[in-house]
Each structure stands twice: as C-alpha cells, then as structure tokens.
Amino acid sequence: MSLIPSLVQTAEAAFIAGLNDRQMHRVMDEHLVPSALPGQDGSTRLFARLGAAFARFYYDTEGVLVASARRQVLEELTLRVADLPDPAEVMALHSLPRDVSWRVFRTGVDIDVGPFVAQAFVRAREVDDADALVSVDPEVMGGAPCFTGTRVPIDTVLASLDRGIGKAELRESFQFLTDTHLSAARVYATVHPRRGRPRPLSEMNPLMKPLSSRVVRPART
C-alpha cells in the first residue's frame, strides 16, 4: 500500500485543525510535524489531513510539553501509521482503524493524541459532506461553486444571509435549501476561498428585493 496520502491546501488543513492559515504556514516553516505530512506543489503548500490533527496537538500542548517532546510524539505516531496496511487512508483521515493507538508514553507521562485525531476526523467529514453538496462545473454559472444539481451559486446564498435575508425567504426562492445545504456552503466557502463579489440575490430572483437601502446611523449625542 502507498504511504503517500492525498494532500489538501492550507485553507482546508486549517479548517480541519481548527487553526488559522498563519498557524498552518508556521507548521511548515518550522517543521512542527513530521516531514511525511506536509508537501508543496510549486508555490502551493499542501498538508495531509492527519498533519492538521497533529498541528492542533502541537499548538494546544505548548504549555504542557516542550517542543522536542511534542515532535518526538508526532514522529512516533507517524511511524506507527506508516506500518498500517493502508497508511495513506489514515493520513488522509478517510478511515480510523480501531486498533490504532494514539497514545505515547514519555518519562511516566501518558500522552493521548486520540482526541485531536478524532476531532479532525469529524471536521474532515464536514469537508467531504460539503464537497458532495457543492460542485464546480465550467459550463454552469461560469464555474462558480453551486449547490450540486442546481444553478444556484453558494456565494449568492451566503451573501444574502450575511445581508440579513432570512432562511425562510431564501427557501421561497430555492425550495431545495436545507440547513445542511447552508452549513455545507459555509464549510465549502471556508476551505475553498474565492475572490470577487457574488451576484446579488435580486439579480437571480427579481421578486426578492431588500425593503430599504437606507443606511441608519446612530444619532449624535
């Protein structure tokens, strides 16, 4: 079996880790996780999803373990994963075999990385669910991410929510929308950031217009 996992970009790794992009860049710059977990494609930095879990462990235990001890723990666990029948599946957080121990003992201290891996596994599933509910097709809406099977861009719906248009109003125009779709849109937009201003919802549905464009300012005292 291949040891090489599928790698994800910084934004997705940061989401899975529950960290920010800057912290993930530091992971690579300072070699905070084993070398088998990050990678690079040209100028694009990439991470195995397991590397995101390990990054969170590294940051969260900063006040408990010295840096060398944290690195040793992560090196031992990476070697442990490498000995599995399909290490790439685990490094990509596609599966977590029950017989894998995420505990390491150092000088009488029991260090359990399992909770960090489990949390990252849940967040990775959120990404997978979002990727299933959102798709990109160059022939549909110019390649903008849309809810799968529709021509409704997620950016338009999210921008409408951010402007104060309620879920009920959105569902009057897009009856397929569920809370699961909206959550998936948020996750997808986070892990696949895009530039540019989304089309206003009023362009897609002329019947849905804001009640007022007046800006309300607080009175001067």
| pLDDT, tens digit (0-9, with 9 covering 90-100), for 105-160 | 987 889 999 999 999 999 999 999 999 999 999 999 999 999 999 999 999 999 99
Return the pLDDT at 207: 42
Find the mean pLDDT for residues 93-112. Answer: 91
Q: Indicate the range of 68-72, 129-133, 162-166 predicted with least confidence.
A: 162-166
pLDDT in tens, 186-213: 999 999 987 655 555 455 454 444 444 4
Question: Sign of the C-alpha dihedral, residues 199, 158, 22, 33?
Answer: negative
92: tokens are 């990509």
Calculate the alpha carbon distances from 47 to 13, 25, 131 in Å.
6, 10, 18
Q: What percent of the chain has pLDDT over 70?
A: 86
Please tell me the distance from the alpha carbon of residue 119 to that of residue 143, in angstroms, as a whole number: 32
DSSP state of 138: T
Is 70 exceeded by the pLDDT of residue 16? yes
Return the pLDDT at 218: 54
Please spell the DSSP secondary structure of 58-71, one letter per residue.
HHHTTTTS-HHHHH
Residues 6/52, Cβ–Cβ less than 8 Å: no
Q: Which of 64, 3, 66, 71 is nearest to 33 (CA)?
A: 71
Q: CB neighbours (10 Å) of residue 110?
A: 8
10: tokens are 């910084």
Please tell me the distance from the alpha carbon of residue 78 to that of residue 91, in angstroms, as a whole number: 9
Return the pLDDT at 208: 45
Mean pLDDT of the chain: 88
